Amino acid sequence: PLLARPEPAVGACDPAMPTVISTSMTLDPGTYCGLELTSGANVTLRDGVFVIKDNPLIVRDGAQLHGASAGFFFTGADATFTFETGSTISLSAPADGPMAGLLMFTSRSQDPSLKYKILSDDARVMVGTIYVPQGELMIDASNPIADQSAYTAIVADKMRLYGGPHL
């Protein structure tokens, strides 16, 4: 259903952009060559499009990721996302622009063997559409996912719900 939606523009990776974060900070939209939030990280996203290129977005146990109007676009060899069990995720998609309504958008040219994982027990706000036209969306959590969201839509080639999730 989103086939006609154009993919966002992708720039070159900016070497000044962080790749590993372990403190509190605010990030600007742009192209990141992977991003890892480790325990103790509390990251707030400014409004806009965050391109994750060639490497994964990983929110580790104990890290927090917040964004009120931010969309992620994943492109390149290993551009996936993993929200680990002890992470906190609170994200809402942009209302306008190239990612309007899209929270997560994976490139249509992504390798179909890639896996995108929501394992967080605290991913209660995920407002927008998760679009995974290639690959597999895996959801496995003990607590409800996106239950405090006005809506969460999923358009995925493959989706697996494991033993515990309540989506």
Residue range 67-104, pLDDT digits in tens: 999 999 999 999 999 999 999 999 999 999 999 999 99
Residue 60's nearest CA partner among 4, 13, 119 is 119
In this predicted structure, the answer to whether residue 163 has a pLDDT above a threshold of 80 is no
Mean pLDDT score, 19-42? 96
d(CA 120, CA 114): 19
pLDDT at 165: 67
Query: pTM for this one?
Result: 0.95
Q: Using 50, 70 and 90 to split pLDDT, how confident is the model at 14?
A: confident
Whole-angstrom distance, CA of residue 79 vs CA of residue 82? 10
With cut-offs at 50, 70 and 90, classify the pLDDT of residue 16: confident
Tally the residues of the chain.
167
